[in-house]
Amino acid sequence: YGEVPAQNVRITYHSNYKADGSTAETTQQSDLQYNNTEITLAASATFTRTGYQFKGWNTQADGKGTSFAAGSQVLIDRIGSNDLYAQWEKCKYTITYINEGKKKGGHGDYNYETIHNCEYGSKTPTNSLSSNTFIDDDYYFTGWNPAVAETVTADATYTAKWAKKTAITITAKTVEKTYDGEWIGGDADITGDLPAGCSVTFNCDPIKAVTKNPVSTNINTPKVSDKFAKDVTDKFKITI
């Protein structure tokens, strides 16, 4: 019968995506000498795509053709080029926010939130921890460690950071006045390590002097502002 001539069968594996900075996809080829040959498809993609999992092969780039699992046995029965396109799925990751709380040597209430199935490249989800998590008499919440990434690229755990509050005291000044039926206002002294540029405002409840004795007004609703007029009261432990 004579020797069977070579039939030039080729398998072309397509990466099916363009790598960063590239204008074309990557391909790899496997040549066979004869048609009607059973082969084992690539067991795993030799292509790598950041943030994606390889899911198998398909005869069409959009995945609407015939699918083949990686490593499957197939019969090649077409002379010429046989094209297979890698199929990809975005990786999904877990984002965790945690505050250790006082019981674990931290500050505020212990709390955590775990958010599953966050797709690669999606915006990092914000947490929905209760406001009580971030309340502490002596410390204030300053953010997360590490800083929350703009987008999801891997599993990540963000731990609450705290800083010690600056202590200041507001002491109402006394006034001496003989009762005459009129209301009197008041003032106060501020002591403590108030940073440069910061200012303190507060309300003094007016009172009536009933005798010619020193009296003081009630101090309430104190507010600390920084040099940019931003409210930074939460960074201070205020004693009245």
Q: What is the pLDDT of residues 177-221, one digit of tens each?
A: 665 666 666 677 889 989 999 999 888 766 665 555 556 667 788
The amino acid present at 131, given as its one-letter code, is: S
- Write the pLDDT tens digit of every residue in 37-59: 787 888 766 788 899 999 999 99
Instruction: For residue 160, give the nearest of 97, 207, 236 by alpha carbon.
Output: 97
d(CA 139, CA 124): 27
Look at residue 7 in the predicted model and tell me its pLDDT. Answer: 63
Look at residue 2 in the predicted model and tell me its pLDDT. Answer: 42
pLDDT beyond 80 at 176: no
The predicted model gives 93-107 an average pLDDT of 89
**Which residues, other chains included, contact 82 with Cβ-Cβ below 8 Å and sequence gap of 6+?**
9, 10, 11, 12, 76
Interior angle at CA 100, CA 162 and CA 108, nearest 5: 55
How many of the other CB atoms lie within 10 Å of CB of 150? Answer: 8
- pTM check: above 0.85: no
Specify whether the backbone of 55 is left (phi greater than 0), alpha (psi in -120 to 50) or beta: alpha
Q: What are 62's two structure tokens?
A: 């959009």
pLDDT beyond 90 at 20: no
pLDDT beyond 80 at 31: no
